Each structure stands twice: as C-alpha cells, then as structure tokens.
Structure 1
Amino acid sequence: MIGSGIFISPASALLHSGSVGMCIIIWAVCGIISLLGALAFAELGTVVPRSGAEYAYFIDSFGPLHKFWGNLPAFIASWIYVVVLRPAEVAVIVLTFAEYFCQPILDVLCIKDLVLGDHVKKLVAMLALGMITYINVSSVKLYVRIQNIFSSFKVVACLIVIFGGLYELAVGNTMNLSRGFEGTNFHPGSMALAFYSGLWAYDGWL
C-alpha cells in the first residue's frame, strides 16, 4: 500500500523540524513506531480472529467488564473514526490533489487572484470526491482498476524522487547534508507537529 500522505507530509515535517537531518531522524522514528504498531495489530489479529479491527479488540478487552460501559470504548472509537478521522483524511487528500492539479493551470493562465484560485481548488476537490464516490458506488471492479492505475503512478513518482535524490548525491550536491542539523527547531510544539506529519504519512498500516 502506498498512501497519498507521502506526497503531502514531507514539506510540513521539514518546516516544523527546521533542518534536513532532524527531519530524516523524525521520519525514521515514525517508521519504527508504525512498524511496531503494525506488528502489534498483526499479533492482535491472530489473538482476536474476527473482522472489525479496533472495534473487535475493544469489545474483547473491555466488553466483559460491564454490560454497558464495557462496550462504550468500542462504540466511541468506531464513531470517531467514521465521523471525524476518515472524513478529515479524505478532505486533506482531495484538497491536496486539487492544489497540485490547479496550481500549474492557474500559473499558465496567469490567474493571480488568490480568492478565485481558492474557490477553483475547492470546486475541483468536490468534483474529484464526487467522481470517486460515483465510481465506487457504480462499479467496484472499475474502482479497483482505477486504483491500480493510480498506484502505478505513485510507484513511478516515488522512484523518480528516490533516484533523483541518489543522482544528486552522486554528482556531489551534498550541501544540505553537510549542514544537516543547521536550524533545527527543538521547540516541543514544533517537534510534535513534525512527528504528527510523519506519522500521518505512515497511517496506512492502521
């Protein structure tokens, strides 16, 4: 699985960490945390072999304790995911798609009006979300095919970034690495936001 977060979070993580070196460390730590979380969920999946993920785990953990209060954590966790977390993730992804899609077009058309540009991006985001929803409702097979096509594009984009970075290192462009920790921001709030950005990109394991 390659989520869209990897194309959104790096700039935010770098901005809040303040330096390339600290940003790389934060990405590595986020990767380790996500790996440990995924392994924990894999273990839970073998212990509680039922569908439902967190809901099933909460039910098994707290359900026997009380007829009403024992099931409440599972109920709350499920509704928070459905009503808050998942819609927020989708909103960020479609707005980012609209930003990347519209910005080159607005530049070519020399449209400098920020308010107009913002309205256009939000309209494109809504159209994209509506199209995805329609395709998913009308044909699951078509949706899977489109998802596979876009996943291939993601792989190509990641390979371009990886090999582009390796090429820059090979030709000697190591200025950022030589000053890797220059400007690091150790403020707790900034570090927390940097970790949040990194963990959000890894969120696909959950």
Structure 2
Amino acid sequence: MKVLIVDDDALIREGLKILLEIEDDFQVVGTASNGHEALEMCRKEKPELVLMDIRMPVMDGVLGTKLIKSQFREIKIVILTTFKDDEYIKEALKSGAEGYILKNQPADSIIESLRTVGKGNIVLEREVANTLSSMLKESKKATPERLNISPREFEILKLVGEGLSNREIAESLNISEGTTRNYVTGLLEKLGFRDRTQLAIFFIRNCE
C-alpha cells in the first residue's frame, strides 16, 4: 500500500516513515508538513492512503482531507492526532476520512488500523468512537422511520457508525456474525451505499 505521511513535526514524520517501511505491505511514497503540500503530493505520487495530522500551519488536516477527497475519491485518509476534539472528529469524517486514531496508540495498533482501512473498513480509535457515540445519542434527526428501515436495522447502522466490526456488533446484540453481515448487506442495498465506510459516514452526517 502506497502511503503519504502528513505532519508538521519532522520527527513524527520520520518516525512514522521508519515504522511503516519496516512492514512488507507498506511503501511510503512521500511526506508533507501541511494539507496544501499533501494535496500536491497526492497529485504527484498518487498514494493509496494518507496518514493525516489535524492541526498544522498553512492548511490543517480537515481542509486538506476535504480537498484531497474532492479530487481523489479513491485515496483513503486516516486522521492521526493527539487531539480528541469533537468538532475536529465530526468535520474530518464529514470531509470523507476513513479513520480517526490517536498518536498515543502502540505502533502495532496504528499499523493494524491502516491495514483495516486498506481493506475498505472505517477505523475509529475507541475513545473517538465513544465521543461519536455520545454525539449520536444526543441526535434525534436520523430515525428508522425517516430512513425506511426497521428498528433492528437502525441499531446495526448506529453500531457501524460507532466503528464496530461485524464481530463486535454480533457480540453486542447477541446475534451471529453471519446475521450481522446480512443486516449490513441489506442496509447497503436499502440506503444505496457501496460499503460500510459510506454507511458510517452517512449516519454521522445525519446525526449532527
């Protein structure tokens, strides 16, 4: 997987580069210090995944994500930051980011998160998922009736929006993983989305 690392801290950029290049399935095609440089690098290097910091000079990670996604929908973006800021979380995901993880995670956890996103899933670090869960509980906009789905399907959709895997959803609702997979497939068909990442983003966007 071709990766672009974006962070205004040179030490962090180099550290992440070393971390990823140790792995056989990652190739770091470049680094950037802000969102503007990241956009230019995407045009030049065509990475498959961008590991994006949030707070940077010139152009922050939220705007950088929005601009990259508007021009390169196929590029996956994972927000990597030390900040647990509710508005940043919402705005980054609204802009199309596939993941939001914190820098204080162990190195192997960051690596696995990137692999998960590479397979087409959304990744939310547990503390971030809890923050989003609180946002969703406070919202009254998205309802089963409005979406024309059953209460159980809505429950599955909510858990997908919180970043849970099929296995975690199955355990949470005491149903089989196969049944969970069938529910997710049904939701994709009913709501007209391609994958669970789009399902999660849809739910977050409709629960502001």
**TM over 0.5, shorter chain:** no
Question: TM tier, shorter chain?
Answer: under 0.3
Bigger fraction of residues in strand? 2
- Say which structure is richer in helix: 1
TM-score by length of 2: 0.26
TM-score (norm: length of structure 1): 0.26
Structure with the greater alpha carbon radius of gyration = 1
Q: Which has the higher contact order (CA 8 A, sep 6+)?
A: 1
